[in-house]
Amino acid sequence: MSTTNTSGRRKTAVARIYLSAGSGNITVNGKDYKEYFPTLPLQYIVTQSTEVAGVAGNFDVKVNVAGGGVKGQAEAVRLAIAKALVELNPEVKSALRAKGLMTRDDRMVERKKPGRRKARRRFQFSKR
């Protein structure tokens, strides 16, 4: 089997993955995913796609991820893995879609507006 190459995005994070047959190793930016994502919820997010598809431990995943924070990066990796699994086996798409793993979450941070402290927050009003 050859290597499957896909990408996933979330907020400003972009993950590029290379999925190949193997023993379940997930390497993120040269480190094991448990070292790169130290908390259990983030580790669960990264492995969620393979568990829902029922192929946990069958594929090696090499990930390059950049931008955003750790949560956005983990969710970008999850989407990329899901897309790669569907590319290999289209029958798992319905199971992944039912869990919401095939949809790119397109919410982004709203821009700061002029005359405001943040995007919607106004400056404090003082009636002096």
- 92 is in which domain, residue-wise? 2-97
Structure tokens at 13: 């994070």
Answer yes or no: is 121 within a domain.
no
What does the pLDDT look like over 28-65, one tens digit per residue?
A: 999 999 999 999 999 999 999 999 999 999 999 999 99
CA pair distance 102, 8, nearest whole angstrom: 10
What does the pLDDT look like over 73-128, one tens digit per residue?
A: 999 999 999 999 999 999 999 999 999 999 999 999 999 999 999 999 999 998 88
Answer yes or no: is 78 within a domain.
yes
pTM exceeds cut of 0.85: yes
Answer yes or no: is 118 within a domain.
no
Answer yes or no: is 115 within a domain.
no
pLDDT of residue 2: 85
Answer yes or no: is 62 within a domain.
yes
Q: How confident is the model at residue 66 (pLDDT cuts 50, 70, 90)?
A: very high
What Å distances lie between residue 27 and 46, 61, 73, 108, CA to CA? 11, 6, 13, 27
Answer yes or no: is 103 within a domain.
no
pLDDT of residue 81: 96
Answer yes or no: is 90 within a domain.
yes
Indicate the SS3 state at residue 2. coil
The total number of structural domains in the chain stands at 1
Answer yes or no: is 23 within a domain.
yes
Q: What is the CATH number of the domain that holds 54?
A: 3.30.230.10
Residues 36, 65, 45, CA angle at the centre, nearest 5°?
60
Q: Write out the DSSP string of 35-90.
A: HHS-SHHHHHHHHHHHHHHT-TTSEEEEEEEESS-HHHHHHHHHHHHHHHHHHH-G
